[in-house]
Amino acid sequence: MPLNLVIGNKNYSSWSLRAWLAIELTGAAYDETLIPLFQPDSRQRLLTHSPTGKVPVLLTEADGAIWDSLSIGEYLAERFPEAGLWPLDVAARALARSVCAEMHSGFMALRSHMPMDMARRQALDTVPAEVEADIQRVVALWAECRRRFGQGGPYLFGQPSLADAFFAPVASRLRSYAVALPDEAAAYVETLYQWPAFQRWYQAALEEAESSE
C-alpha cells in the first residue's frame, strides 16, 4: 500500500497544504484522500482515518497513522533522507526547524483575521495591529533565512524545504489579502507561487472554489 495523505479542502486547509507540499518534496508515490470540511459528516469521516478528527493525516502501511503537519514532515524527512526536506548544514537545519516550529505554534492573529482562502483577492478594510505585528515577524524571519542560508536558490534555504512548505500558506494569505510587502518578501511570495508543486495545489484550489459557487 502506498502512502495515503488525507487532506481537507484545497482552498481553505492550510495545514493540509503544508503536509501535501512536504510529501511532494519526497517525490514518493502516494494516494490522496480529500475529505471536504465544514460538512455535517466531516468529523465522522475524518475519525475513520485520524484519532484527532482533523487533517492532515498520513496513513502508512508499516508505521500506522501520523497526524499533525509537523509530525508528518519529520516522518517524511526521516523516511526519505535523500529528498533533503531539511537543509544539510547543521546551523541551517536548526534555523529551519525553529522557523517551522514558530509557524506551527504562533501567528494566531494572522491566522484568525486572514484565514487561508486561495481564491480571494481583497484586502481587509482595517488590519489590526496584532496582525501587522505578525506580518512584520514573518517578513523578518524570511529575511534572516534568506540572508544566512539562501545563497543556493530563491527559497528560504536556497532549495525547497519543509520551511517553504510551512510558510506557503502564509504567502497565500499575504497575496489573498493584498498585503503590501518589502521587495525581498514580495519576491519570495512570487517564488512560492511559481513553485510547480504549489502551482498544482493552487490551480486545484481555484477549481474547487469555482465549483462550490
Tens digits of per-residue pLDDT, 24-35? 999 999 999 999
Which is nearest to 64 in space by CA: 139, 4, 9, 23? 4
Which residues, including other chains, have CB under 8 Å from residue 154's CB and lie 6 or more apart?
Answer: 187, 188, 191
The domain defined by 3-83 folds into Glutaredoxin (3.40.30)
pLDDT in tens, 149-196: 999 999 999 999 999 999 999 999 999 999 999 999 999 999 999 999
Q: What is the pLDDT of residue 128?
A: 98
Query: What per-residue confidence (pLDDT) applies to 211?
Result: 87
pLDDT score recorded for residue 213: 62
Q: Which helix (H) or strand (E) holds 162?
A: helix 162-176
Mean pLDDT of the chain: 97
Q: Is 111 exposed, middle or buried (0-12, 13-18, 19+ CB in 10 A)?
A: middle
Residue 213 vs residue 73, higher pLDDT: 73
Phi/psi of residue 58, nearest 5 degrees: -105, 120
β-pair type (30-34, 3-7): parallel
> 158 CB contacts (<8 Å, ≥6 apart)?
87, 149, 150, 151, 152
* CB-count exposure of residue 33 (10 Å: 0-12, 13-18, 19+): middle
Q: Is the pLDDT of residue 1 over 90?
A: no
Q: 124-144 pLDDT, tens per residue? A: 999 999 999 999 999 999 999
Query: Are 57 and 49 contacting, i.e. CB atoms less than 8 angstroms apart?
Result: yes
Strand 30-34 and strand 57-60: pairing? Answer: unpaired
Mean pLDDT of 60-77: 97
List strands edge to edge, sheet with 3-7: 30-34, 3-7, 57-60, 64-67
Sequence spans of domains, the chain = 3-83, 90-198
Q: 3-83 and 90-198: same fold?
A: no
Determine the topology of domain 90-198 in CATH. Glutathione S-transferase Yfyf (Class Pi); Chain A, domain 2 (1.20.1050)
